[in-house]
Amino acid sequence: MLSRENVGTPPSEWAVQSREIGDPEEAERIAGNLRGLGLPAMTHALEWSWVVRIGPFQHYLEAWDTMMKIPSPEMTVVPFSQTPGRALFVAALGFDPARRPPRIVTAASISGRRLPLDMIAGNSGAEGAINGGFFSGVRIVGSLVINSFPASGPYGDRSAMGWSSNGSRLHFGRGDFRTRLSIGDRDFPVSTINSAPPQGGIGLFTPDVWTFVTGAPSDAWEMTVKNGAVAGVRHSAASNHFVTREGYLVIARGISGQYLQGIEKGTPVSVRTEWTDQGFNGLDFVLQAGPMLLRDGSAVSNAEGFGARTLSVPHPRSFIGTDGKLVWFVVVDGRDPWHSNGLTISETARIARQMGLENALNLDGGGSSSIWWRGRIVTSPPGGAIRPVPYAVVF
């Protein structure tokens, strides 16, 4: 379903804009280099990233001519207006989860730590796809469970959505959990998931996120687990930090690492996830994002720690929800007064309610917001570039 509301406002000016940059210092370095060429370049903060803009220019051709003179980095001409437009473009994709169960697919399960949505979808046998939750660089931010196994730890108690592998059960709620690792008859708390553990802690590394762990601590012991049993133990200094696809890698430091030294091959190992919200127990896929837009048909007012720049400024938005029968992927384009202005969070909740949704969870927005359907992206990411993401929800 595609929907357009109101008439767009022609851009009053134009700007030359860089790709999105995750590091503000890198953005300022690029801006400084462009200013050294005599160009009026400035950094501009988006909700989770930064861009470098040159201009504004009164005429499109003037902006285009400027862009063509820049040797690097990759730039594009974008509409620029101080007056927000009223146009709104919404793309919504609904499906029966019992007939077409959704899945979470990571970029690392295909190639690399981040990929554009169309590459993830096209390489996973999907019919439809939407971007997932938040991330920083290549690091997934927030709870992520894939095939009943944790791939990322929680970010506070922000909201999440979960479902069973056959699509018969869905749940929306608080998305934090604890992870326990059992080795033989001993039980240990897991300190980190897919990131280096602190001194004395244990880290869990999964093949959905890593093939080889980079930046592994040199003072640790590593244990490879295959098919629920210890396949090998070695010191990190003698390891290539490979994460097997038949299981996972455990990296332990300090006293926890000392314990691993004496573990025999074949010792049974298991991982247990303990949810604060018991409604997530037994679900095979869970993603944490937020804030929650609707819960049981009512708007939710909890900001969940998000700032005003994320909540109250119109941005491109993505959300996932259900009307009790179908699951819906929804994207609202933004940052273009001519095509679509974007929405605040409260406005996004209003759209979800107008669609008849009972529960809806906000996903990562901005440049991540995209829907893929049967071979093509059907939305228009700001700046025309599809932002690479670490994972997607597909069916």
Considering only CA atoms, which of 321, 337, 360 is closest in space to residue 84? Answer: 337
Residue 35 amino acid letter: R
Question: What average pLDDT does this structure show over 358-365?
Answer: 98
Distance CA 351, CA 366 (A): 17
pLDDT per position as a tens digit, 21-39? 888 999 999 999 999 999 9
What is the tens place of the pLDDT at every residue in 282-298? 999 999 999 999 999 99
How far apart CA 35 and CA 249 sit, in angstroms, is 47
Query: For residues 21-46, b (16+ Cβ closer than 10 Å) or e, as one string?
Result: beeeeebbebbebbeeeebebebeeb
In which element (H, E) is residue 248 found? strand 247-253
In the chain, what percentage of residues exceed pLDDT 90? Answer: 80
Kindly report, residue by residue over 348-361, the tens digit of the pLDDT. 999 999 999 999 99
Handedness of CA 70, 25, 151, 254 (dihedral sign): positive
Task: Assess contact for 52 and 27: CB atoms under 8 A.
Answer: yes
Give residue for tokens 């007939």.
99
Kindly compute the dihedral angle of the four CA atoms of residues 77, 83, 89, 90, in this order, to the nearest 10 degrees: 120
Identify the H or E element spanning 226: strand 220-226
Cα-Cα end-to-end distance for the chain: 16
pLDDT of residue 234: 96
Label residue 270 by pLDDT band (50, 70, 90).
Answer: very high
Amino acid at the residue 261: Q
- What is the tens place of the pLDDT at every residue in 42-64? 998 887 788 999 999 999 899 99
Cα dihedral 35, 40, 43, 46 sign: negative
Helix (H, G, I), strand (E, B), or coil: what is residue 35? helix
- For residue range 173-225, list pLDDT tens digits in order: 999 999 999 999 999 999 999 999 999 999 999 999 999 999 899 999 999 99
Cα 191 to Cα 179: distance, rounded to the nearest angstrom: 8
Is residue 78's pLDDT more than 70? yes
86 — pLDDT class (breaks 50, 70, 90): confident
Torsion of CA 279, 128, 348, 390, to 10 degrees: 70
The Cα–Cα gap between 92 and 329 comes to 6
pLDDT value of position 82: 67
- If you average pLDDT over every residue of the chain, what do you get? 94
Residue 203: how many other CB atoms lie within 10 Å: 24
Instruction: Report the chain's C-alpha Rg in angstroms.
Output: 23
pLDDT digits (tens, 9 = 90+) for 369-382: 999 999 999 999 98
Bond prior to 291 in cis (omega within 30° of 0): yes
% of the chain beyond a pLDDT of 70: 99
- State how far the Cα of 213 lies from the Cα of 227, in Å rounded to an integer: 20
Q: Which two tokens stand for residue 345?
A: 């969070």
**pLDDT of residue 326 exceeding 80:** yes
Q: Which residue has the tokens 């280099």?
A: 33
- Residue 171's closest CA among 143, 213, 138, 195? 143
Indicate the pTM of the whole model: 0.88
Domains, the chain, ranges and CATH? 2-80 (3.30.70.1070), 89-170+281-394 (no CATH), 179-275 (2.60.120)
DSSP label at residue 382: G
DSSP string for 130-176: EE-S-EETTEE-S-EEETTEEEE---TT-EEEEE-TTSS-EEEEE--
